[in-house]
Homo-oligomer: A and B are copies of this chain.
Amino acid sequence: MDQISPPARGRLLYLMRILESAGDEPLTSAQIEGLTGWSSNTIRKDISCLGGDAMGSAHGHGMGSCNGYAPAALASAIRKALELDRRRKFCVVGLGRLGSAYLNFRNFELGEFDLAAGFDTNVNRVEILNSPAPLYPAYKMAEVITRFGIEMALLCVPAEAAQTVAEKLVTAGIRGILNFAPVALKVPPAIAVRNVFVADELRSLAINMQSSI
C-alpha cells in the first residue's frame, strides 16, 4: 500500500489507544475485532498498510511466532507509519472554563504533544490561573508562537470571537487548529482544522441510538 486511507488512519489511531493500555500478551486480530467491532480482515489489512519493514518487528514475542501482534511493537510501528514519532508543541487560546480545563490535562492524556503556552485577552486570568505552562496576554500571541515554535492551537474562545482569533493564529504561523467553538471557521486551505462540536457529537449519538432499536 502506498498511502494509508483516511478511514484506516482513524482506526489505527484508536487501535494505538487500545494497545497502549493493553498488557504484553500478543493480541490476535480476532481479539481486536472483539474490542473494536471492526472485522479481523479490516484490521489485518490496516496493519499490512504500515509497510513491510515495520511489520517484521511487530510480530510475536521474542522471535517470529505468528499468534498475534505484540502491543508495544505494533503501537510504535503505527506511530512510525503515521509519522507521529516526533514531539510537537501546542497552545491553549481562551482560558475560560473549557480552556483552563485543557491547561491542566495530564501528560499521559496528551501523548507526544507538549503544552507550551496559554493565552487570554483577560489579563487577570493570565495572572491568577495556575498552570503547568506559562500564560500570556493575547497581544503576545504572535511573538510567543514564533519564539517557541508552537505548531497547533486549542481554540477555546467564545463563539463570537472564534473567527477573529483563528485569523490571528494563522498569521502568527499556527498550522493546525483544534476548534472547540461551535462555529465553522474560514481559514486558508493550508491550515488544518478539526472541530470538536459537542452538540454535533450528541446528534451523532442520537442518530446511532435510534438505529439500534
Residues of A within 8 A of B (CB): 9-10, 13-14, 17-18, 21, 35-37, 82-84, 88, 90, 96-98, 100-102, 104-105, 108-111, 113, 151-152, 154, 159, 175-178, 182-184, 186, 189-190, 192-210, 212
CA distance A190 to B194 in the complex (A): 28
Determine the distance from Cα of A195 to Cα of B36 in the docked complex, in whole angstroms: 13
Selected from B37, B105, B177, B205, the residue in CB contact (under 8 A) with A178 is B205
With both chains docked as a complex, state the minimum distance between the C-beta of A99 and any C-beta of chain B, in angstroms. Answer: 9
Chain B residues with CB under 8 Å of A198's CB are 102, 105, 109-110, 154, 178, 196
* Extra contacts besides A21-B183, A83-B210 (20): CB < 8 Å: A13-B203, A14-B195, A18-B184, A21-B184, A83-B206, A90-B202, A105-B198, A109-B199, A111-B199, A111-B202, A113-B199, A176-B205, A176-B209, A177-B205, A178-B201, A178-B202, A178-B205, A189-B212, A192-B205, A196-B201
CA distance A97 to B152 in the complex (A): 22
> Contact at A206–B88, with CB atoms within 8 Å?
yes
